Structure 1
């Protein structure tokens, strides 16, 4: 009976301490064969600029000297494409939703897409300073997708992805992936919106996560990966680690019992 009890105890502990494979695999679709995932169109709408966003604005023309006055002078390496250079040389949206462009002055961009901002700048330049023969070319982009990630992730902190669009899977991969003890079923995303903050919870083991409004990143998203219970139990993340921990505990208990009987 004692042997049976110990075997039952080990099996019970293993069943609750090890992390199942289904909790580690991303974007599962049950037992169905998944040929494609249908994404809700409402989740792929263009991003609209908010306060504290940083924009990168480039203006070019046939005679570049004529348009250089509309862009701030850059310091250091002009080809440097980093978050630091964009912070100092980009256009930051202030608390009133405005950016300040040399000569043009203040321009309200709050709630506009980058394409709408580009059209507005181009129209003002043509109406007030140039004609169509100048061959103006205006390019407006977000100065990278900045996000902060914490918790059970390979590399915590603030990261920047230099893409127009990126999803949370790319952010996680860019930060070293979720650790074995990270809860992929309850990933928290806190997002700044015009009226405050919104919180989303994503189950990244479910393929339907792609339809969440938080699946695609927005600038300044905060992502938190919660720890699994196995981490606080300290029993190990794999079967071998758990067996080793349990055997060590049983050996300690057995030794304690034997020493107590001999006293």
Structure 2
């Protein structure tokens, strides 16, 4: 009987210790090993470099509006990323876009400001005079990213140039209670392939991470906590219910085998 009680107590302790606590759930906790007030909270992300299949919105303005009609989509057709799929400029497999009059322009690996300068230079060289006073705006069709795992799964588009991972997760519906916030994976595309990065969102130091700001085409993957894989409850009440059920079965089994 003593051995049975020891095993039962150990099993009970494991279940109770597997509860999900605030330390597992609360974002950006000040753990005391850094002065939160000293964090650079408004750090700027690195400029994004355009990749294959990105869609660009390019708009040309000049003193004579009739001269630029050929370059610009019909008003109202480019609102939202869905409209830009048809009226925007898609980067093909060779890194080119097909631009009116100018033909193919290679933009692969360029930043948005660099593309703007390139389009302006080519327009002045091939079509406009300096006196036309042209003005070019270039934007991505939105910041697209994917979420998968213990989070709202799907492909999301935010009409912003700058999005941090907390905003991205909130837009996706937040991480489930059974998701591992301490080791969130960011799968990022680079010219030479994909790389996996890790970030601990329960620590305020995450705001200093180079991966705190997401980039277009990022995949945010949230793994389940180990306790979910074990099938235990998320709260103490759930675990106590589980313990009570198991205890009832074990005690009944013990006395039945003892009386045989």
TM-score (norm 1): 0.87
Shift of 1:24: 1.2
Gapped regions of structure 2 (runs ≥ 5): none
CA distance in structure 2 between the aligned counterparts of 1:12 and 1:110, rounded to whole angstroms: 53
**Could you list the runs of 5+ residues in structure 1 that have no partner in the other structure?**
none
Change (3 A) 1:190 1:73: same
Q: Which residue of 1 aligns with 2:29?
A: 28
Quick one: distance in 1 between partners of 2:133 and 2:247? 80
What's the Cα RMSD here? 2.6
Greater mean alpha carbon deviation, residues 178-187 or residues 249-258: 249-258
C-alpha separation in 1, matches of 2:256 and 2:87 = 72
On the 8 A contact 2:56/2:89 being kept in 1, the answer is yes
- For residues 193-229 of structure 1, give each alpha carbon's deviation from its aligned partner in whole angstroms, at most 9, with x where no partner exists: 0111111111111222223332211111111100001
Contact 1:60/1:138 (CA < 8 Å) preserved in 2? yes
State the match for 2:137 in structure 1: 139
The equivalent of 1:215 in structure 2 is: 212
Indicate the residue corresponding to 1:13 in structure 2: 15
What is the distance in 1 between the residues matched to 2:41 and 2:195? 21
Residue number among 158, 183, 201 corresponding to 2:155 in the alignment: 158
Aligned partner of residue 79 in structure 2, secondary structure = coil
Change over 3 Å in CA distance of 1:40–1:85 after alignment to 2: closer
TM-score calculated relative to the size of structure 2 = 0.88
Separation in 2, partners of 1:139, 1:226? 40
Q: Does residue 98 of the first structure (1) align with residue 96 of the second (2)?
A: yes
